[in-house]
Amino acid sequence: MIFQSPKLFIIYLMISIFLNLINPCATQISFNYNDFSDTTKYKPVNLTGNATNSGSMIRLTPDEVDNWGQATYSEQMHLWDKNSGVANFTSNFSFIIDSQGKDTYSDGIMFFLSTPNFPDPSPTDGSGLGLVSRAQMEQRDFLVTNQFVAVEFDTFNNTKWDPSYPVPEHVGININSMKSHNSTPWYCTIKQNRTYSASINYDSSTQNFSVTFTGFDNDATPIQQHLSSIFNLALFLPEWVEIGFSASTGYSTELHILTAWSFESTSPLVNQQSPPPSVEKHKDEPNKKLVVGLSVGACILVICLVVLYLVYKKKWRPSEEEEEEEELVFDFSMDDEFERCTGPKKDIKSSNVMLDSNLNAKLGDFGLARLVDHVKGSQTTALAGTMGYLAPECVMSGRASKESDVYSFGVVALEIASGRKPVEPRAKEDETILLEWIWELYGTRNLLKAADTRLCGEFDEQQMERLMVVGLWCAHPDYNVRPSIRKAIHVLDFEAALPILEPKMPMPTYLTPPILASTSSTSNSEDHHAQSSTPGSYTGSSQFTTYSAAYTSTQIIENVS
């Protein structure tokens, strides 16, 4: 975050320190095992079944059929609290699955969160990857009292519940069942003793459970794969859970070796009420510890703030050249002048996006945008901006809004992905308008054909797909359907699922300029989902203005040409 004023920095620092002093939401569990034989830093990992320590690593299963093993952390994790919500957590680990050159192998490894003291798998078989057995899963009430959520790295296809993929290896998110809630093929090579890495993240604010893991394309090229699901962990797991790994072998064998594991979780706020002190004993006795603690903390805080103010007061005296440069660039932060106003930029385009020496993105304004006062509203004057980046409602009404900036952001995203300008007058007739062309490819499931040809196909297909779909979502003709930038970033970071858009680019429908207000559409875009988008679904007015996409294309081409 960049502060243009020392006053803002001091205020921000004071708030941060204060919140850290009073906030009881501290890290609940945090460890990083790079060597499982070193128990001096962290508590030892509990091993059950046939799991054994093998030097600095943990071997979960031996090279024997119908075997299982588990490695669990010695402390339970406080997953949720009824008064405050669900914790966030991140689990990173590396592991080896090795068939030792054999063509047939089974069954896989699994990271899990489960009910504490989860029963051992009985009878022993490989079907439940070392956590449950087939017989237990068939018991009527077993999974009612013994709950789990897991990520499986499965190497064997059990036709009863595993998905039908071209390869048996797959990664799945399991919720109280060995039939995965969501899954994807896993491109790996089990016969070559390779190490794989995975990162599992749960964000309680978005209820997004995401998995990022490595693999090998054509058994040679390292790749990164992704999988995610949206659900509330508190609905499927108890308040306190066990965390760890399990693995199993079945009719065939393979080695399952855990080489490293780090974990970090934040504890939900807990409303712990202790018995009140005796009134007779303490009614006239001051809380000396509280007074001393607050006094010392306040003194330290004041001293730190004074020192920081003097340092930054001296540091933040920009030269005349720096002041002139800052006038042309907007950082992605707020200063005093922006606290009263919001600033639709009106001309977000690729040529106005610049990088500083630290490769941070800056948006050049060059006087084309205006501050919009919350009270006075946007004044409709001459149309500002660049055709091709302007939202349809801006073209017709001349009004700027946060939604119109999101539209421009979407066009820039499509421009980055395709390597083409928003308008190409010399291109084929159906490829002239970038947005319309990419949307048509999206509808025919050929989205990756729009990728920049200069990349020669050397890119992560899932990342490219997300960039294009988010670009289309942001550039949706209906401003009510466009997401907030926060939601768009969540999708780009694989923290939220891809939106489902219409197969054909919808016709823009919006209110006429006298009724349209830039502030009202902002709240609508925050809550509206692309999955339920319907052109013209905005109600509450008797006057609508519609125009065809073809008219928009002709107008843009004429302005560009």
Give per-10-residue mean pLDDT for the chain (561 aa). 53 52 56 85 88 93 94 94 88 95 92 96 85 88 91 90 86 93 93 93 94 89 92 94 96 94 79 39 47 69 75 57 45 40 60 71 56 45 60 74 88 92 82 91 93 91 93 92 91 89 80 38 38 36 37 42 43
- Give the torsion through C-alpha atoms of 45, 51, 57, 62, to 10 deg: 180
Hey, what amino acid is at 185? P
- 12 and 137 assigned to the same domain: no
Q: Evaluate the omega torsion of the peptide bond into residue 123 and state whether it is cis, within 30 degrees of 0.
A: yes
The tokens for 414 are 């499509």
- Is 395 within a domain? yes
Q: What is the pLDDT of residue 510?
A: 52
- 411 and 550 assigned to the same domain: yes
pTM over 0.75: no
Query: For residues 554 and 532, what is the distance between their CA atoms, to the nearest angstrom?
Result: 29
- Is 280 within a domain? no
Q: What is the pLDDT of residue 5?
A: 55
- Is 159 within a domain? yes
- 483 and 536 assigned to the same domain: yes
Q: Is 364 helix (H, G, I), strand (E, B) or coil?
A: strand
- Is 335 within a domain? yes
Check which CATH number belongs to the domain holding 381 and give it.
1.10.510.10
Query: For residues 189 and 532, what is the distance between their CA atoms, to the nearest angstrom?
Result: 41
Bridge partners, residue 260, by sequence: 94
Q: What is the pLDDT of residue 248?
A: 95
- 313 and 244 assigned to the same domain: no
Query: For residues 89 and 79, what is the distance between their CA atoms, to the nearest angstrom?
Result: 9
Residue 111 zone, left/alpha/beta (φ > 0; ψ -120 to 50; rest): beta
DSSP secondary-structure letter at 297? H
- 333 and 449 assigned to the same domain: yes
Query: For residues 258 and 547, what is the distance between their CA atoms, to the nearest angstrom?
Result: 60
Q: What is the pLDDT of residue 370?
A: 45
Q: Is 331 exposed, middle or buried (0-12, 13-18, 19+ CB in 10 A)?
A: middle
CB 149 within 8 A of CB 237: yes
Domains contained in the chain, number: 3
- Is 297 within a domain? yes
CB 556 within 8 A of CB 433: yes
Residue length of the chain: 561
- Is 73 within a domain? yes
- Is 233 within a domain? yes
Q: Among residues 530, 49, 514, 10, which one has the least CA distance to residue 256?
A: 49
- 499 and 513 assigned to the same domain: yes
- 40 and 87 assigned to the same domain: yes
Q: What is the pLDDT of residue 375?
A: 44
- 233 and 198 assigned to the same domain: yes
**Domain end marker among 317, 339, 355:** 317
- 153 and 13 assigned to the same domain: no
- 55 and 120 assigned to the same domain: yes
Q: Over the range 206-241, which residues count as b (16 or more CB within 10 Å of their CB) and which as e?
A: ebbbbbbbbbbeeeeeeeebbbbbebebbeebbeeb
Residue 55 zone, left/alpha/beta (φ > 0; ψ -120 to 50; rest): left
- Is 409 within a domain? yes
Domain of 239, in residue numbers: 26-266
Q: Over the range 355-370, which residues count as b (16 or more CB within 10 Å of their CB) and which as e?
A: eeeeeeebbbbeeebb
**Domain end marker among 295, 317, 339:** 317
- 123 and 227 assigned to the same domain: yes
- 519 and 491 assigned to the same domain: yes
Query: For residues 299 and 286, what is the distance between their CA atoms, to the nearest angstrom?
Result: 20
**Counting runs of H as helices and runs of E as strands, what totals does the chain give?**
13, 25
Q: What is the pLDDT of residue 358?
A: 67
Q: What is the pLDDT of residue 397?
A: 67
Hey, what amino acid is at 273? Q
